[in-house]
Chain A
Amino acid sequence: MIRVLFFGQLKEQLDCAALDLDTQSIATPSTLGALLQYLQRAYPQWCDQLQDKSLLGAINQTLVSSEHRLLDGDEVAFFPPVTGG
């Protein structure tokens, strides 16, 4: 299972804070980018927001690139560019 979290404006746009994915459905081991592609197929209503090139992705609370490998049990997060400080 992979837990996917959304934050900030993206969470509001998708109206979803978290979802759990059965790893078989995304054919792990896979990558963060492949997961993003899968989410667009599984939730076509989210396509516009998930195709935003400025989105950032984290695996297990660390920012990573879309090529980063994804393993069963990982916590994934997608969010807009950060605006703290």
Chain B
Amino acid sequence: MISVQFQDFDFGHEYQQLAVNNSQDGAVVCFVGLVRDYNQAHSVTGLHLEHYPGMTQKALESIVAEAKSRWSLGRVRIIHRVGDLGISDQIVFVGVTSRHREAAFAANQFIMDYLKNFAPFWKKELTIDGPCWVAAQTKDQAALTRWQAPQATMT
């Protein structure tokens, strides 16, 4: 299930939803991304997350479909928040279950790597020097190579 939402999420609740009545899966891997107080040489005081409403759901569904084609997965849960966030607020939740841990670990990292490159969200940091759009990082683009995936490009 995929949610793009303004409100916060409860990690314990999300974990329960992945684990309960799921006797065939022996592994649950959950990742949570948080707002850092320092990024790209700025002291950050908060974050605004913009998205392309018509496309985010579609892009995340396509990422989950690709993950399920690569690994045998049980349940997949993605929550991505938008709007105004404060320091240490939760931004993103990715939870994956599978029979064995290898697939759950790999698929969770795969989903985050793809989300970082293909899901239409943009971060604007609020810093002590004023607002500043976050630049895409080459390390996130480089992460695609471990999945033999092409870069996001128009050319």
Q: Are A85 and B55 in contact (CB under 8 A)?
A: no
List the A residue with the shortest CB-CB distance to B155: A66
Q: Are B50 and A63 in contact (CB under 8 A)?
A: no
For chain B, give the interface size range: 20 to 34
Q: Mark A31-65, 1 if CB is under 8 A from B, else 0.
A: 01100000000000000000001111110011111
Task: Tally inter-chain residue pairs, CB-CB below 8 A.
Answer: 94
Q: Are B121 and A82 in contact (CB under 8 A)?
A: yes
Q: Are B52 and A79 in contact (CB under 8 A)?
A: yes
Question: In chain B, residues 117-155, which have Cβ atoms closer than 8 Å to a Cβ of chain A?
Answer: 117-124, 133-136, 152-155
Q: Mark A64-85, 1 if CB is under 8 A from B, else 0.
A: 1110000000010101111111
Q: Which residues in B have their C-beta under 8 angstroms from that of A62?
A: 55, 58
Beyond A7-B50, A8-B50, A57-B154, whether A82 also contacts B119 by CB under 8 A is yes
Write the residues of chain B forming the contact surface with A, with a CB cutoff of 8 angstroms.
Answer: 33, 49-52, 54-55, 58-59, 80, 91-92, 112, 115-124, 133-136, 152-155
